[in-house]
Structure 1
Amino acid sequence: MIDKDFDLTRRSFIDHVLKASAGAGMAAAAPWAAFAASAAPGQKDRVRLGVIGTGDRGRTLIRNIAKTRNCAVAAICDDYEPNLVKGRALVPGGTPAFADHRAMLDAGGIDAVVIATPLHVHAAQTLDSFDAGVHVWCEKAMARTIADCSAMVKRAQDRRKVLQIGHQRMFNPTYLNALKRVKAGEIGPVTQIRASWHRNTSWRRAVPAGSDLERKINWRLYRDSSAGLMTELATHQLQVGNWFLEAPPTRVIGSGSICFWKDGREVYDQVALVFDYAGGRKLVYTSLLNNARYGCEEQIQGSKGTIEPELGRIYQEKPPGVPALRKMGEDVQAGRKRPVPIGGATWFPELPVTTPGESLGWGEYDETMLQFEVFGEAVRSGVPAPGLLRQAYHASVTSLMGEDAMDSGRPVDWPSSLVDI
């Protein structure tokens, strides 16, 4: 693809962001969308990024950064040599490579860092970066503890640096369009969101024979480095829930277990939680690692309809009726057979609605690339994109509340002492 073609693709993408986020209500709910659309990145003076962590996710981010018009990878860092070798293959020859993030910071030559490392080191690497005078883009979840999440926010404020967390759904035109239609009242008042992320995988990675790298490579499976499903998956969808319900939860109850993968892991392989929101609204969340049938989804439910943004569909609660004779003709033409009721039971099961619904619109986008263009503009100006950090902070706190509720077996209330954003 030539630059002109890419620019047209990018322009089309931003046009869709603008279209999805137009309106006063949307400006309040997604203020970063207008910031993203108004950014005009140029070819020169790209923001120089040092990528800390060149594992699978870090290498994906390097590829995304390469698509931007205002950012470039100026250094890479990983303390696991096999990952660093793979990272070198994605950047120009001569790009400095480090085994320690502090050495990279001391070397200079970067404006900001991108952190794609295991969760438990996010906070330390973020604080070190702010103290070195650079801005930070960090993968979600933010940190292993609520205290560390708060420390990251506070240090960003104290040092007057940009802290942006990688919640890409906030840049996704389908989600922005879904939010716009919720704001317009199309599905009525939202009273419940059901969300799930189901996979069929052990999450376990092979460890070199005879090495002591088990906890380093399989960090997601151990409590000192991860909250498992809550921080590695749930935080994405809890951000969506808080966003569409326009507030964080007031409390949560939940249950988790190691039910299937009894392999020495410490984190739950299935979780089920209910988050309470003001006005009696609920977010019901489940995640498991031994059945992928329902995958990743959110069902945003109102009195007039349902939106499923992962599927890009909106459904009316009472779709327009189809006359019986016309319906019979359509069935005959399509070769569908169904019983014709003449007499029988007075009760029928209330089965799921199977109407096809309506598309939420455009579905070709690269929201992760746009995140970095917005981050680049924020770094250049020294002004964070409005609203992003608050959403991310509250999403991470929400996920860690869920872990606490499952561990303690009791309801956990929203913390009263958080950093004000």
Structure 2
Amino acid sequence: MNNEKINRRDFLKELGFVAGTTALLSSFPWLSGMAEDKRKATTGHKARIAVIGTGDRGRYLLNFLVMNPKAEVVWLCDNYEPWLELGRQIAPSAKTCADYRQVIDDPNVDGVVIATPLHTHLEIAGAAMEAGKHVFCEKSMARTLPDTLTMYQTHKRTGHVFFVDQQRLFDPVYLKAIEMIRSGMFGEIQGIKTFWNRNGDWRRPVPSPELERKINWRHYKEYSGGLMTELGCHQIQMGTWIWRELPERIYGQGGITYWKDGREVEDNVGVMYTYKNGKRMSFDSIISNQFYGLEEQIMGNLGTLEPEVGKYYFEKTPPMPGFLQMINNIEKDIFSSVSFAGPSWDPEIARKNHGEYIIGKKRDFLDGTGFTVDAFVEAAITGEQPPMIAEEGYYATVLSLLGLQAIEEKREILFPEEYRIDYL
């Protein structure tokens, strides 16, 4: 678990910006804490970190923390003993407890990593920030729009470091892709199509019936926003990041079309976000078919990017075989006259364009999670909040919840003014 072949200490260099780091940090100011001079200044220091929630995601984050020489995992907390025991196996020297308030009350904790069910995020993160702790919170920020705004306002009022795990902000492929977009390589971005498809019931084994909602909380609306908050939150962020604006209208549809097993959240959703001048971003998710998998297709008039596979494609491609055959036939005087009907010779189907790698090579790491965790550790040592981290997480959550609202209410949603913050 070393984020594969990229050295997380030097990931800015992996982007190919060795000579242009200043420009990179100007475009992506949240990377400021990872600059070489900042990291050198924290050498020899440690952030004392507690992990609250040691389920699958919490343990994934925990693996990055125990590898970081600047992090000391001092507490593990979970109210489900089997998961707590799995956490102990990764960080055996950490103290353990079932009540997060025991962690919050410890003055020897600098920061907390929260990987608990969505509906508990506000309660735990709010208490941690009020107690003077820095907070790294799994996405989405909160279960409801009011809770999301309250959480952000608590961060601003207390002034403590606050990260939301929108790991694309630290993913070298995405950083390079956005830099390429802003350079004008792909012209004007007119549309963003995102999708995340799986084939599985999203269900974990339950040892006894009374634990169903505790273990499979993602299936129930009281605790989760389903596909919108668990998956869509990552991809919907792309609109704010690329266009630096908010959508004007949100439409959505969804339903339980396949996994009819007592769940309350949709297993099939589709949402459209429309921006000024007609630009559009879509999010689709089906969890009964995984053929098309996961991707963002970012489309400009000069080209397209697919960050998940790590490739980009320019619009201008070699002529279609049919067109070449027509030219050959003309040269041989087979036709006495030629009708340029267009689609007859150049059908409007996807071109066979193999593209180029965004960072010059095939993606050889999973995502930006390890980089994000490292950046939080640096910030927890310095106490400096990286710009835009909290705001990107805030709007990703708000847009996910508005998409869910459009699905549930079966109507067009206008972006509510009360949830605008001073950011874009």
Name the TM-score, length of structure 2 as normaliser. Answer: 0.88
> Where does structure 1 lack aligned partners over 5 or more consecutive residues?
329-340
The equivalent residue for 1:154 is 153
* Residue 387 of structure 1, CA deviation: 1.1
* Residue 72 of structure 1, CA deviation: 2.1
> Comparing 221-230 with 239-248, which one deviates more in the overlay?
239-248
* Residue 104 of structure 1, CA deviation: 1.6
Per the alignment, do residues 400 and 376 of structure 1 end up closer, same or farther by CA in structure 2, a change over 3 Å counting?
Answer: same
In 1, distance between residues paired with 2:224 and 2:368? 26
In 1, distance between residues paired with 2:19 and 2:153? 29
The equivalent residue for 1:394 is 395
Per the alignment, do residues 92 and 24 of structure 1 end up closer, same or farther by CA in structure 2, a change over 3 Å counting?
Answer: closer
Per the alignment, do residues 324 and 279 of structure 1 end up closer, same or farther by CA in structure 2, a change over 3 Å counting?
Answer: closer
> After superposition, where does 1:12-411 map in structure 2 within 5 Å?
12-17=10-15, 19=17, 22=20, 27=25, 29-38=27-36, 39-40=38-39, 42-93=42-93, 95-209=94-208, 211-319=209-317, 347-348=343-344, 349-361=347-359, 362=361, 363-365=363-365, 367-411=368-412
- Confirm or deny: 8 A CA contact 1:172 1:367 kept in the other structure: yes
Per the alignment, do residues 389 and 17 of structure 1 end up closer, same or farther by CA in structure 2, a change over 3 Å counting?
Answer: farther
- Confirm or deny: 8 A CA contact 1:20 1:173 kept in the other structure: no
> Where does structure 2 lack aligned partners over 5 or more consecutive residues?
326-333
In 1, distance between residues paired with 2:248 and 2:149? 18
Name the TM-score, length of structure 1 as normaliser. Answer: 0.89
Per the alignment, do residues 10 and 218 of structure 1 end up closer, same or farther by CA in structure 2, a change over 3 Å counting?
Answer: closer
Q: What is the percentage of aligned positions where both structures have the same residue?
A: 38
Per the alignment, do residues 109 and 274 of structure 1 end up closer, same or farther by CA in structure 2, a change over 3 Å counting?
Answer: same
In 2, distance between residues paired with 1:263 and 1:12? 46
* Residue 110 of structure 1, CA deviation: 0.7
Q: Partner of 1:136: helix, strand, or coil?
A: strand
Per the alignment, do residues 294 and 62 of structure 1 end up closer, same or farther by CA in structure 2, a change over 3 Å counting?
Answer: same
In 1, distance between residues paired with 2:49 and 2:32? 24
* Residue 279 of structure 1, CA deviation: 2.1
In 2, distance between residues paired with 1:68 and 1:279? 46
Matched pairs, number: 403
In 1, distance between residues paired with 2:204 and 2:320? 53
Per the alignment, do residues 20 and 145 of structure 1 end up closer, same or farther by CA in structure 2, a change over 3 Å counting?
Answer: farther
In 1, distance between residues paired with 2:46 and 2:9? 19
- Confirm or deny: 8 A CA contact 1:238 1:395 kept in the other structure: yes
- Confirm or deny: 8 A CA contact 1:21 1:177 kept in the other structure: no
Q: Partner of 1:107: helix, strand, or coil?
A: coil
Amino acid at match of 1:408: E
Q: Partner of 1:140: helix, strand, or coil?
A: coil
- Confirm or deny: 8 A CA contact 2:46 2:381 kept in the other structure: no
Per the alignment, do residues 352 and 154 of structure 1 end up closer, same or farther by CA in structure 2, a change over 3 Å counting?
Answer: same
In 2, distance between residues paired with 1:29 and 1:284? 25
